[in-house]
Amino acid sequence: MTQLSWNEYVRLALTYAEFTSNEDKGWTVEVPVLSGCVIWGETRAEAALMAEDAVHGC
């Protein structure tokens, strides 16, 4: 079995990210492979960047 690099792990975790548009026009991102990892951003792009930062911080 090949061991993943940290960047590969982050990329893999983010492929499972679920984006939801909120009523307040913000975005929520849930990364289900990381229990409890839920992020909110004002725009989809901001939420995506914050999700990447959150995964890096795990």
Residues 33-51: pLDDT tens digits?
888 999 999 999 999 999 9
Q: Is residue 49 part of a domain?
A: yes
Q: How much is the pLDDT for 53?
A: 92
Q: 15 or 1: whose pLDDT is higher?
A: 15
Determine the Cα–Cα distance for residues 48 and 14; give it in Å rounded to an integer. 9
Q: Is residue 7 part of a domain?
A: no
- Write the CB contacts of 8 (distance below 8 Å, at least 6 apart in sequence): none
> Is residue 1 scored above 80 in pLDDT?
no
Beta bridge partners of 50: none
> Is residue 2 scored above 90 in pLDDT?
no
> 31 lies in which domain range?
17-56
6-40 pLDDT, tens digit each: 889 888 889 999 999 999 999 999 999 888 999 99
Q: Is residue 34 part of a domain?
A: yes
Determine the Cα–Cα distance for residues 22 and 9; give it in Å rounded to an integer. 28
The pair of structure tokens assigned to 8 is 């590969």
Q: Is residue 10 part of a domain?
A: no
User: What is the CA angle 17-44-10, rounded to 5?
Assistant: 35
Classify strands 27-30 and 18-21 as parallel, antiparallel or unpaired: antiparallel
Q: Is residue 3 part of a domain?
A: no
Number of structural domains the chain divides into: 1
